[in-house]
Amino acid sequence: MKQYSELADSVVQDEDLLKKLRPTETSNVSKLLKIRAASEAELGDGQPVTNPAMFALVRAGLIYACDALEESHVIVQATDGDESAYWHGMIHRREGDFENARYWFRRAGILPFFGELHHVASAVSSVVAAQSDWDPYLFTGLCERNKYGETETTGELQKLQRMEFEVVFDYVWRRSFATPSK
């Protein structure tokens, strides 16, 4: 089922997407090369981009999904805004740099997609469901505990990581092509 563009869908719908909480190498080099080489029109399925900053995060997100964290990091560092700060936090969390992740989540603040993310994440995590909204600090803390030996929640954390990516990616995708309000 087509949701985005052919290339974006091939990444987002990949069953092996985001399986590693802390990747050490790129997971899908062939897709990464296609993302790098794709023009704006190819990546956006010919839709006119109305928000270039959000569209930069689309590319950064697809690169992030291929576990090329350093390359994604370069893009989000060059992009301003709360959504960019949130991606930045996601990258640092996956790098295992938890304090830096928390810093970027603080900079991002509360974002419009938190309610949706909390809703979908609550279906797989009783810890998340006990919160009143999505809490990136809670998720970061759970990932940090996992890194230091609390591995019984690895599967749940992988599911949460994927859900987070899907919700954030969908949000920046829609904002990339939205008609600007007057």
Neighbours of 153 (CB within 10 A): 15
Torsion of CA 53, 64, 85, 100, to 10 degrees: -160
CA 150/CA 147 separation, integer angstroms: 7
pLDDT tens-digit map of 6-33: 999 999 999 988 999 999 999 999 999 9
Confidence at residue 182, expressed as pLDDT on a 0 to 100 scale? 53
Evaluate whether 169 touches 162 at the Cβ level (below 8 Å): no
Structure tokens at 181: 């309000």
Neighbours of 169 (CB within 10 A): 23
Neighbours of 45 (CB within 10 A): 14
pLDDT tens-digit map of 112-137: 999 999 999 999 999 999 999 999 99
Mean pLDDT on 77-96: 97
- Whole-number average pLDDT of the chain: 94
Return the closest-CA partner of residue 25 out of 97, 98, 94, 99.
Answer: 94
- pTM, 2 dp: 0.95
